[in-house]
Structures are given as structure tokens and as C-alpha cells.
Amino acid sequence: MTHDVSLALVAAGTVVVVWSSVASMLLFRGSALRRLHLLTPVTSLGAPLVGAGLCVQEGWGLTTGEIILVVGLLFLSGPVLSAALGRLAAQQEGLVAKSDSE
């Protein structure tokens, strides 16, 4: 039962990650701003699903704590990086002034 739940969670996370990667390569050719929409599901949904599946498989312990820490860091840093990259892409496309620091 535990193994089945773990496998389902990891499989779901893998589907999200693979789908986001493939779609970001194939769709929105040339537009980095639109491509960023496909980057966030990897850090906000795919990685937590995979991490949850691995935690269920491992059970309570230090390994699970470390997995939660890694996934948590990835979860928090993903939107920040997407915002920074989005701002850079907007500057490159002329939507935001380059001298605007706010």
C-alpha cells in the first residue's frame, strides 16, 4: 500500500516535470515570458509531488527531513527566480524600462 502510494506520487510528479520540460521546448518559440509559465510547475508542483512520494517510501527519519528541506528550498526559490527572469525578459522585450529598479 505504501509503495503504491509512493509510486503514484512520484509518477505524477514525473509527468508534471516531463510535460513542463517538453512543452517549454516546443511551445512559445522565442517568447521567454510565456515559456516561464511552464517553469514554475516544475518547482511548485512536480518537485513536491516527487518529494512527497519519496518521503512516503522512506517513512519518518532524517532522510525524509532532508528531502523535505531540499523540496522546500526549491519550492521557495522557484517563484523568486521566475520573477527575476520575467523581469529580465520584459526588459529585453521593451515592456519595462531597463533603468527602473523598483
Partner 1 sequence: MALIAGGLGPALVLACTRDPVNRLVGVQLATAVVVVVMLVVSVISRRSYDLIVPLAFVPLGFAGTLVFTRLLSGSDE
- Supply the minimum distance, in Å, between the C-beta of residue 8 and partner 1: 15
> CA 60 to CA 54: how far, in whole Å?
11
Q: Residues 6 or more apart from 99 whose CB is under 8 A from it?
A: none
Tell me: does residue 92 bind partner 1 (CB under 8 A).
yes
Tell me: does residue 21 bind partner 1 (CB under 8 A).
yes
Binding positions for partner 1, rule: CB under 8 A: 10, 13-14, 17-18, 20-22, 24-26, 30, 32, 35-36, 39, 42-43, 46-47, 50-51, 54, 57-58, 62-63, 66-67, 69-71, 73-74, 77-78, 80-82, 84-85, 87-89, 91-92, 98-99, 101
